Amino acid sequence: MTFSDLELHVLTEIRPTEDELDRMYAIADQLMLDIRESGKAEGMMVGSVARKTCVHGDRDLDVFMLFDPSLPREDLEHEGLSLAWSIASKYTDIIKEKYAEHPYLNATIDDLDVDLVPCYKVQEATGIQSAVDRTPFHNRYIKARIESYTDDVLLLKQFVKAGGVYGSDQMTEGFAGYLCELLILHCGGFHQLLNTAAKWKPGIFIDIEQHAAKRFDEPMVVIDPVDPCRNVSASVSETRLLEFIELCQGYLKSPSKWFFYRPPICILTTEEVQALVSGRESAFIAIIFKTPPYIEDIVVPQLRKSLHTLNDLLRRNEFVVARADTWMLEDRCMLLFELLVDTLPAIRFHAGPPVTSTVNAQRFIEKYLLSESIFAGPFIREGKYGVELPRRFRRAVDLLSSSEVFSTALGKHVKSAMSDEFSVYYGIECWQPGFEPFISEFLQKSSPLVRIRRAEARSSQSLLETI
């Protein structure tokens, strides 16, 4: 398929250079030599660099250390980390241990972000003992098929990056690089994918090898060619899927550079935030606490769970949540709530048992019959007895500052971090250092296509003004 002039121009800017690849391969070769010479494992370079589907400027290098499958899991973790430390420390002192299903090492070597990951050298993907054991099979599958589609993959990756839907991490809930490669293979190219995806709806099912061994209920299902029991697109949320469909439709109708170069986020000033918050006449409340010491894929689901359970807490106390979102920095996390009303009357209605539930109804009446703490009742409403009581929390900020937050189903690590310390901010106080891009985007929320069309309109307007 012939690429347009726009796409050819984009490709000249996003293709990795030979020097760039040679430099990364040289470092990977040296690391794999070190692994082999240790006599403990074999080395393998995996990921987009290994498949030459990395975008120019990418600095991520993944090197796997393949151990004998007979090695006990506990020994794999210990020996894998030990070997990774001994190798990485030869080249850098910028090293971190990270934790996914099991620990691995991340090191900065010659400005490259290098992951040294221990795994088992299993014979078949169906025999994996840990999730990372599957990756070498992905590498072999893609390398054997992708060469003639390399440019198509690069365009797709740049397309989804600019659209804000790239990344299988829990914060993004979007399209992984491996998924992009599979979609290009399945459809036969970038244009073919866009034309196909423009007609998708949630519930799309793709099985390249026609070997699915189980059912999935995610919005998008792409069966892993090397593992019939895995959905490669499990990370893709319904919103991200619909945003991708929207982007495909928009590009086919009216392509522009903005589909490949994401318009920069407009970081608001304090004065602009103050004006927006005041103009919305809603209430903003932020909870900030120290980031739990785990990788994003572990922390973010717990942040979302905590956001959901605190939403429920607010609603149970009759505070209406307009929108809420969460963000994770390296050192701090934020749970942000926008409420339609943040202060409620002193009175609240408390529903009791149905009138027809004689025993429970009688107990309810007796409980409140002589109570001096009620405003009115018991009386019958919609078939039940009820009373009007004083409200315990009239202000949402008081509720979210109280111990009531710990009575909810907070994520385990979030609860632990908040138990140590958390701060609650109100209104413009939510505009905390480090969270400016997150809050700016929250206040200016729009879909990817709307963002692109707005950038196009502003660009045209600026051009007219210069004429």
Query: pLDDT in tens for each of the 467 residues of the chain?
Result: 689 999 999 999 999 999 999 999 999 999 999 999 999 999 999 999 999 999 999 889 999 999 999 999 888 989 999 999 999 999 999 999 887 667 899 999 999 999 999 999 988 877 788 888 898 999 999 999 999 999 999 999 999 999 999 987 777 889 999 999 999 999 999 999 999 999 999 999 999 999 999 999 999 999 999 999 999 999 999 999 999 999 999 999 999 999 999 877 789 999 999 999 999 999 999 999 999 988 787 898 999 999 999 999 999 999 999 999 999 999 999 999 999 999 999 999 999 999 998 899 999 998 999 888 889 989 999 999 999 999 999 999 999 999 999 999 999 999 999 999 999 999 999 999 999 999 999 999 999 999 899 888 887 766 555 65
Residue 190 lies in a domain: yes
Residue 68 lies in a domain: yes
Residue 63 lies in a domain: yes
Residues 410 and 398 in one domain: yes
Residue 297 CA to residue 381 CA, distance in Å, equals: 47
Residue 37 lies in a domain: yes
Residues 118 and 43 in one domain: yes
Alpha helices in 257-404 (DSSP H): 270-280, 296-316, 358-369, 396-400
Residues 47 and 134 in one domain: yes
Residue 313 lies in a domain: yes
3-state secondary structure of 265: coil
Long-range contacts of 168-171 (CB under 8 A, 24+ apart): 168/235, 168/236, 169/235, 169/296, 169/297, 169/300, 170/235, 170/296, 170/297, 170/299, 170/300, 170/301, 170/304, 171/296, 171/300, 171/327, 171/328
For residue 149, which of 176, 183, 199, 175 has the smallest C-alpha distance?
183
Residue 241 CA to residue 220 CA, distance in Å, equals: 7
Residues 223 and 370 in one domain: no
Residue 464: the pLDDT is: 59
Residues 422 and 281 in one domain: yes
According to DSSP, the β-strands at 112-120 and 204-206 are unpaired
Residue 124: the pLDDT is: 80
| Tokens representing residue 89 in the block | 């420390």
Helix (H) or strand (E) holding 252: helix 238-253
Residue 374: the pLDDT is: 87
Segments forming the whole domain that contains residue 12 = 5-143
Report the amino acid identity of residue 369.
Answer: L
Residue 98: the pLDDT is: 82
Q: Which residue has the tokens 């090695």?
A: 71
Alpha helices in 130-233 (DSSP H): 135-143, 150-162, 177-187, 190-197
Residues 111 and 159 in one domain: no
Contact present, 35 and 87 (Cβ < 8 Å): yes
Residue 430 CA to residue 273 CA, distance in Å, equals: 10
Residues 32 and 152 in one domain: no
Residues 282 and 245 in one domain: no
> Residue 288: beta bridge partners?
334, 423
CA distances from 60 to 35, 50, 115 (A): 19, 11, 8
Residue 166: the pLDDT is: 93
Residues 278 and 403 in one domain: yes
Residues 178 and 80 in one domain: no
